Amino acid sequence: MLTTLAVGLLPPAASAAPTADEPAGAAAPKVDLVLDVSGSMRTRDIDGKSRMAAAKQAFNEVLDAVPEEVELGIRTLGATYPGKDTKVGCKDTEQLYPVGPLDRTEAKTAVATLVPTGWTPIGPALLGAADDLEGGDATRRIVLITDGEDTCAPLDPCEVAREIAAKGIHLTIDTLGLVPDDKTRRQLTCIAEATGGTYTSVRHTDELSGRVKQLVDRAADPVVTPVATEGAARCADAPRIKPGLYSDREKFSEHRWYRVDVLPGQELRASVSVAADRAVDKDYGVLLRAVTVHGREIVRGSEAGDGRTDVISTGLRYPKPENDDADTDTGDEEKPAAETVCLQVSNAFSAPDAVKTTPGLPVELSVDLVDAPDEASDAAAFGLGRGWWLLATLVLTGLVAGLLWGWISRLRVVWEAN
């Protein structure tokens, strides 16, 4: 949920820009998909099929969609050794398909042969994947897909990720947990955070294929690094932000404010994602509001849930018509150059007493300003709240449809009687 909504609202120019940690260049970006093929992948709890079957289906869809400029490889862990010897099981990682120009048929054939077998040596697999991607200065990304935590301690995969990051080789590790428990979630989050990557919890096949596709595309077209900012307790003190991606931290049930200047004829698009990076209570929500500096609500977006979540997102759109000069932050009689819009981010998370509430929850706020649609004012008025004619039309349509159906039914009865 986090990246799907936020990335879609990024400014086109910003999304194409290289980050400070990922160098630009003509070299082809490289991605190594690391797949868990341990025995637990036989479990049937993803859309009525086994985790392995879901992974294979997702891989087929991903391989069909890999951009031509991306060099892709596949590494497995736990694919060959079914025994109980720790020393052997913890070395069970191999390169299934070498990183390079993709032969889709050959890669799919290789994945089709996989059968859930052995251990879960995540640490050794990450070291092997780093070697797979060695050399050159292109963007490099490891995408780890697993359904459990590492079973080969004391080689801690989180420490392995930190060692990889310390080498300064511009390699990012993203992790995906298939129906993860809390221990797996914590370990995969730690691995991802060590290299500036992302963690995603997956419970459905389409979620897996969609997220892996997104990460592969991200390697080809790196996204901007979020700019750290700090929202205020009220709009008057809020930081003034421009189009881009921002990160912040928000305490449980806190309200934070940010300000954006919107010119007449522009449309403000904003989205916010709040990550539940620790155990939280059921029943929660996230609210994103756009209000004037005088406190009048313009538009809002909200999302709520009940149960375990890793991230919850919502967004809004506000087209500012050319002739709209109401509720502006100016005393001049002339039409203002811009309207200051206050964005409020709120959450309704709570946590068990044993859970630490500090630091606050991670927040990503995406802001964009684009030319408003020509029919912006008409679109804003198209609704029951501001268009009673629509309600009347719906009622009249229902009445006419009811009368016609009644006459047809009566005619059919008469016809059958005769």
Task: Look at residue 379 and tell me if it is in a domain.
Answer: no
**137 or 9: whose pLDDT is higher?**
137
Q: Tell whether 206 and 231 lie within a shared domain.
A: no
Q: Tell whether 318 and 301 lie within a shared domain.
A: yes
Query: What is the spatial distance between Cα 377 and Cα 13, in angstroms, rounded to a whole number?
Result: 27
Confidence of residue 14 (pLDDT cuts 50, 70, 90): very low
Residue 193: pLDDT above 60? yes
Q: Tell whether 192 and 75 lie within a shared domain.
A: yes
Task: Look at residue 404 and tell me if it is in a domain.
Answer: no
Q: What's the average model confidence in pLDDT over 102-124?
A: 95
Q: Tell whether 235 and 212 lie within a shared domain.
A: no
Query: What is the spatial distance between Cα 151 and Cα 142, in angstroms, rounded to a whole number?
Result: 20
pLDDT, residue 326, reads 47
For tokens 């390079």, name the residue: 100
Query: What is the spatial distance between Cα 31 and Cα 59, in angstroms, rounded to a whole number?
Result: 13
User: Which domain covers residue 61, as residue numbers?
Assistant: 18-220
Task: Look at residue 392 and tell me if it is in a domain.
Answer: no
Task: Look at residue 252 and tell me if it is in a domain.
Answer: yes
Q: Tell whether 67 and 188 lie within a shared domain.
A: yes
Q: Tell whether 254 and 182 lie within a shared domain.
A: no
pLDDT in tens, 78-87: 999 999 999 9
Domain final residue pick, 183, 200, 220: 220
Q: Tell whether 117 and 202 lie within a shared domain.
A: yes
Q: Tell whether 148 and 251 lie within a shared domain.
A: no
CA distance to 33, 57, 162, 205, per residue, from 62 (Å): 10, 9, 28, 12
pLDDT, residue 294, reads 92
Residue 344 belongs to a domain with what CATH number? 2.60.120.380
Query: What is the spatial distance between Cα 229 and Cα 210, in angstroms, rounded to a whole number?
Result: 29
Confidence of residue 390 (pLDDT cuts 50, 70, 90): low
- Stretch among 144-153, 230-239, 349-358 having the lowest mean pLDDT: 349-358
**365 or 305: whose pLDDT is higher?**
365
**Residue type at position 85:** D
Residue 161 belongs to a domain with what CATH number? 3.40.50.410
Task: Look at residue 367 and tell me if it is in a domain.
Answer: yes
Domain final residue pick, 188, 220, 252: 220
Task: Look at residue 101 and tell me if it is in a domain.
Answer: yes
If you average pLDDT over each of 25-34, 59-68, 370-379, which comes out highest? 59-68
Task: Look at residue 279 and tell me if it is in a domain.
Answer: yes
131: CB partners within 8 A, 6+ apart? none
For tokens 């039309």, name the residue: 393
Query: What is the spatial distance between Cα 149 and Cα 177, in angstroms, rounded to a whole number?
Result: 9
Consecutive H or E run containing 32? strand 30-36
φ/ψ region of 170 (left if φ > 0, alpha if ψ in -120 to 50, else beta) reads left
pLDDT, residue 154, reads 81
Confidence of residue 58 (pLDDT cuts 50, 70, 90): very high
pLDDT, residue 403, reads 75
Query: What is the spatial distance between Cα 397 and Cα 31, in angstroms, rounded to a whole number?
Result: 55
Residue 135: pLDDT above 70? yes
Domain final residue pick, 354, 372, 390: 372
Q: Tell whether 88 and 180 lie within a shared domain.
A: yes
As for how many domains the chain has, the answer is 2
Query: What is the spatial distance between Cα 299 and Cα 343, in angstroms, rounded to a whole number?
Result: 10
Helix (H, G, I), strand (E, B) or coil at 377: helix
Q: Tell whether 279 and 341 lie within a shared domain.
A: yes
Strand partners, 341: 260, 292
Q: What percentage of residues in the chain have a pLDDT greater than 90? A: 55
Q: Tell whether 239 and 150 lie within a shared domain.
A: no
Q: What's the average model confidence in pLDDT over 383-412?
A: 66
Q: What's the average model confidence in pLDDT over 175-185?
A: 92
Q: Tell whether 67 and 215 lie within a shared domain.
A: yes
